[in-house]
Amino acid sequence: MTGTGRVAAVPDLADIRLGATTTSATVEEARATDARAMAAVTGALKELGIAAPDIQTANLSLSPAYDYSSNTNPPRLTGYTLTNTLAVTIRDLAIVGRAIDGALLAGATSVDSVAFRVEDSSAGEQQAREQAVADARAKAETLARAAGVAITGIASISESAAPLPYPVFRGEMAKMAMADAPTPVETGVNEISITVVVSYVIE
Over the chain (203 residues), the average pLDDT of each successive run of 10 is 95 96 96 96 97 96 90 86 97 94 96 93 94 97 97 95 54 46 83 95 95
Q: How far apart are CA 164 and CA 157, in angstroms?
A: 22
Q: Which amino acid does the sequence have at 30?
A: A
User: By three-state DSSP, how is residue 116 classified?
Assistant: strand
What is the C-alpha to C-alpha distance for residues 67 and 74, in angstroms, rounded to an integer? 10
Contact criterion met (CB below 8 Å) for 101 and 38? no
Res 137: pLDDT: 97
Does 3.50.50.60 match the CATH number of domain 11-119+166-188? no
Determine the 3-state secondary structure of 101 from DSSP. helix
Q: Per the omega criterion (within 30 degrees of 0), is the bond before 74 cis? A: yes
State how far the Cα of 32 lies from the Cα of 23, in Å rounded to an integer.
Answer: 11
The amino acid occupying position 17 is R
CA of 57: how far to CAs of 1, 19, 26, 52, 199, in Å?
Answer: 46, 9, 23, 11, 47
